[in-house]
Chain A
Amino acid sequence: MNGKTFVMPAPHPKERRIIFENISKPGYDSGIETYLAHGGYESLRRAVTMKPAEIVDAVKASNLRGRGGAGFPCGAKCGFIKYYDDKVHYIVVNADESEPGTFKDRYILHYDPHQLIEGLAISAYATNTHLCYIYIRCEFPAAARIVWTAIQEARAKGFLGQNVLGSGFDVDVFVHQGAGAYICGEETSLLESLEGKRPYPRIKPPYFPAVLGLYLKPTIVNNVETICHIKHILRLGANEYARMGTPGDGGTRTMCVSGDVVKPGFYELPAGAVTLGELIFDVCGGLRPGRKLKAVIPGGSSAKVMRAEDVYKIKAKDAEGKIVDKEITMLEVVMDASSLASVGTMVGSGGVMVLDDSRNMVWALNNLNQFYANESCGQCTPCREGSLWMSKITTRMLAGGGRVQDPSVLKSVADNIAGRTVCAFGEACSWPTQSFLSKFPEEFASAASRLKDPVAQ
């Protein structure tokens, strides 16, 4: 993958490709001429004839929610920036895609960088922002070069730089490379990193990026996919765009499916168009022959795990429109932000990891615990120490050195991290442990009693 062209499989009938529409065309490459031949920068041309407030209103009406993980309504975020105040503002694109299970931004950056740049130029125009950074993780070295080349191409054609398309509006965009730290995906940490410091997250309040962001000025930090959607909101119109999704979660969502399915990959689906069962068994071709579904992590590794036999009680409308209690199985859960939230997990960044019955859940949790122990930035004691303790305990359980009290110790460590840290990493690292323990208690109990050397206990 070094930025030439990408062969995408034919779309599934349920798919609706907007972000990946161009990338899936044969021979589509990352150059500006190709982009222009496919209607590129038309939305920006329209945007500069509109009033900035109209663009922000369109984004609000589109019900676009952030695609980075937190799912914050994008229009509201843009609305925090006061267009006419004298303060300088910034936009920072979060291209530090590193949540395990998520792999959509990689393809946009490598194969369609101009789509991102157009969305960014529109966002900058709408919020009167003159300086933007795209923070790309350094594990995408080719992407950094491709995006930087694209920025220079766009500048040469007058889509960036001084007096964008004759509108009198100036905007500069630069690429900034990270250096291998997962924590930089957290927005305040990303800003610290961009300021050239150790990326310790800032405490909120007062350091909400929209108030005190980069260089302590109001800053919008958005995910790559979110910024790309802004272009399509203008192209399709806010109402048409919102109609594609569910109320409160507009547009399409790219679901990245990995793990034990026949056809892993990313699928761009209207938000809420499929249930989890349809996604796994229809869109992704089901499990390997002879395997049974065991568990699903629905929104990146930090989302709470779901067990195949789970039954959830939700509120649903019946035929007469009355709200009634209803029981649904895990496979009937709809893949949108509010449905997943109502069953106690989250859609997050859209990374769905599927585990079949050949997987040992203690092993899977140990893998994630090692990830969080490695990636904790070390600023807050509960997370720095706790993530390592959890990792050491599950490693020991796997090696056959379990102790009967291990599950309860694990739970108490996790419970003492969540809510006691500066940033959401504390929740991110304790939710897997808490949910694995509550959904698969028998596996942890049996690992805890599997003693390597009973005498030494």
Chain B
Amino acid sequence: MTVHSAAESAAAAERQAAKVTPEFEAEVDELVSHYPISTRSASLPLLHYWQNHFGYIDDSGIDWIAARLELQPINIYELVTFYPWFRRDAAGKTIIRVCRTLACAMAGSYVVKERFCAAVGLDPHAEHHGYGSAPPTSLDGKFSVEFVECLASCGSAPVALINDDLHERIAPEAVPDIVEKYR
């Protein structure tokens, strides 16, 4: 997101509209229609949709969504930097989110995360600060690994969310095989 006047903002949104297909717009219209009282409520669904479609949310995404919902870009930008799920740069094709919180930690999630990092060639101690940045990503761009807070599956700890699949009771020795399935 860059700072610019309303007219420039509209122009930037128009330029970006070029990469947005009619099918994309139709889905956006459907999502917006779920919020008959206030279209601003659609900002989270649109951010999810943009990120799923384009991989991350760049300035053009923020400008486009703001224009579509008749908001200021800052109204969208402040969401991208607050919610841990959103990112401003590309992440790996497969994102491995290992649960860090107590039940999983007691069941060995710190070791599991290290094994995941080792299996995809990442430094297990690389810092990830959030605020919209992408999690550490392998050089080939295939994998990102990060710790997340409780995934609400404490009874089958340790768990990891890999893309949309939950993996439960992960034994450290099983990690390389799990990674192979996503390569």
Binding site for B on A (CB under 8 A): 1-2, 97-103, 105-106, 131, 137-142, 174, 176-182, 193-199, 215, 256-260, 264-266, 301, 351, 353, 355, 359, 364, 367-368, 370-371, 374-375, 377
Can you offer 16 A-B residue contacts whose CB atoms are under 8 A?
A98-B152, A103-B153, A139-B161, A176-B41, A176-B45, A178-B44, A179-B84, A180-B83, A196-B44, A197-B79, A256-B154, A258-B155, A353-B102, A353-B103, A355-B106, A371-B102
Given known A265-B155, A368-B102, contact A139–B148 (CB-CB < 8 A): yes
Contact pick for A176, options B44, B100, B156, CB 8 Å: B44
Residues of B within 8 A of A139 (CB): 97, 148, 151-152, 161
Name the contact of A138 in the complex, choosing from B85, B106, B165 (C-beta under 8 A).
B85
Pick the residue among A2, A105, A179, A197 that contacts B85 (CB under 8 A).
Answer: A179
The answer to whether A181 and B44 have CB atoms under 8 Å apart is: no
Q: Does chain A have a CB within 8 A of B82?
A: yes
- Report the minimal beta-carbon distance from B36 to chain A, rounded to whole angstroms: 7
Which single residue of chain A is at the shortest CB-CB distance from B168? A1
A141: nearest chain-B partner, CB-CB:
B164
Q: Which residues of A contact B41 (CB under 8 A)?
A: 176, 194-196
Nearest B residue to A199 by beta-carbon distance? Answer: B82
B142: min CB distance to chain A, Å? 20
- A106 in contact with B152 (CB, 8 Å): yes
Q: Report the separation of the CA atoms of residues A141 and B163 in the bound assembly, to the nearest whole angstrom.
A: 9
Chain B facing A: main interface SS: mixed
Q: Is the CB of B154 within 8 A of A264?
A: yes
Contact of B155 among A174, A182, A194, A264 (CB under 8 A): A264
In the complex the two chains form, what is the Cα distance from A257 to B154 in whole Å? Answer: 8
Complex CA gap A235/B52 in Å reads 41
Q: Pick the most buried of B78, B85, B149: most chain A CB atoms within 10 A of its CB.
A: B149
Complex CA–CA separation, A301 to B38 (angstroms): 35
Of B86, B102, B148, B168, which one neighbours A367 at CB under 8 angstroms?
B102
Is A174 touching B34 in the complex (CB atoms < 8 A)? yes
A81 to B180, CA, bound (A): 54
Q: Please measure, in the bound complex, the distance between the C-alpha atom of A215 and the C-alpha atom of B41, giving whole angstroms.
A: 10
Residues of A within 8 A of B47 (CB): 179
Say whether B103 contacts A101, CB under 8 Å.
Answer: yes
B41 smallest CB distance to A (angstroms): 5
Within 8 A of A (CB), among B133-173: 148-157, 161, 164-166, 168
Residues in A whose Cβ lies below 8 Å from that of B157: 258, 264
- Shortest CB-to-CB span from B171 to chain A, Å, is 16
Known: A141-B164, A196-B41. A180 touches B85 (CB 8 A): yes
List residues of chain B with CB under 8 Å of any chain A CB.
34-38, 40-45, 47-48, 69, 75, 78-79, 82-86, 97, 100-103, 105-106, 148-157, 161, 164-166, 168
CB distance B38 to A215 under 8 Å?
yes
Whether A131 and B152, one on each chain, are in contact in the complex, defined by CB atoms closer than 8 angstroms, is: no
Chain B residues with CB under 8 Å of A131's CB are: 36-37
Contacts A98-B149, A196-B79 known; 13 new A-B pairs at CB < 8 A: A1-B168, A101-B154, A102-B154, A139-B151, A139-B152, A141-B164, A178-B83, A179-B47, A179-B48, A197-B75, A256-B155, A264-B156, A370-B100
A53 vs B83: C-alpha distance when bound (angstroms)? 40
Which of the listed residues A1, A100, A137, A259 has the most CB atoms from chain B within 10 Å of its own CB? A100
Residues of chain A within 8 A (CB-CB) of B155 are: 103, 256-258, 264-266
Q: Which residues of B contact A355 (CB under 8 A)?
A: 106
- A102: chain B residues within 8 A (beta carbon): 152, 154
Residue pair B85, A364 in contact (C-beta under 8 Å): no
| Distance of A355 Cα from B105 Cα, bound (Å) | 12
Are A258 and B154 in contact, CB atoms less than 8 angstroms apart? Answer: yes
User: Which B residues touch A260, using CB under 8 A?
Assistant: 106
Check if A367 sits within 8 Å of B101, measured CB to CB. Answer: yes
Q: B155 → chain A, closest Cβ, in Å?
A: 4
Query: What separation, in Å, do the CA atoms of A353 and B154 have in the docked complex?
Result: 9
Report the bound CA distance from A301 to B36 in whole Å. Answer: 37
Q: Which of B69, B75, B79, B106 has the most CB of A within 10 A?
A: B106
Contact A181 B103 (CB under 8 A): no
- Contact between chains at A138 and B101 (CB < 8 Å): no
Measured between beta carbons, the chain B residues less than 8 angstroms from A215 are 37-38
Q: Check if B45 sits within 8 Å of A100, measured CB to CB.
A: no
**CB within 8 Å for A100 and B165 given contacts A181-B83, A196-B42, A264-B155:** no
Knowing A102-B154, A138-B85, A139-B151, say if A301 contacts B44 (CB, 8 Å). Answer: no
| Bound: A351/B106 CA distance, A | 15
Q: How far is the CA of A353 from the CA of B69 in the complex (A)?
A: 44
Residue of A nearest to B34 (CB): A174
Report the nearest B residue to A90, measured CB to CB. B37
Instruction: Tell me if A259 and B106 are in contact (CB < 8 A).
Output: yes
Q: Which of B35, B100, B155 neighbours the largest number of chain A CB atoms within 10 Å of its CB? A: B155
Q: CB-nearest residue of chain A relative to B37?
A: A215
B-chain residues with CB within 8 Å of residue A256 when the two chains form the complex: 154-155
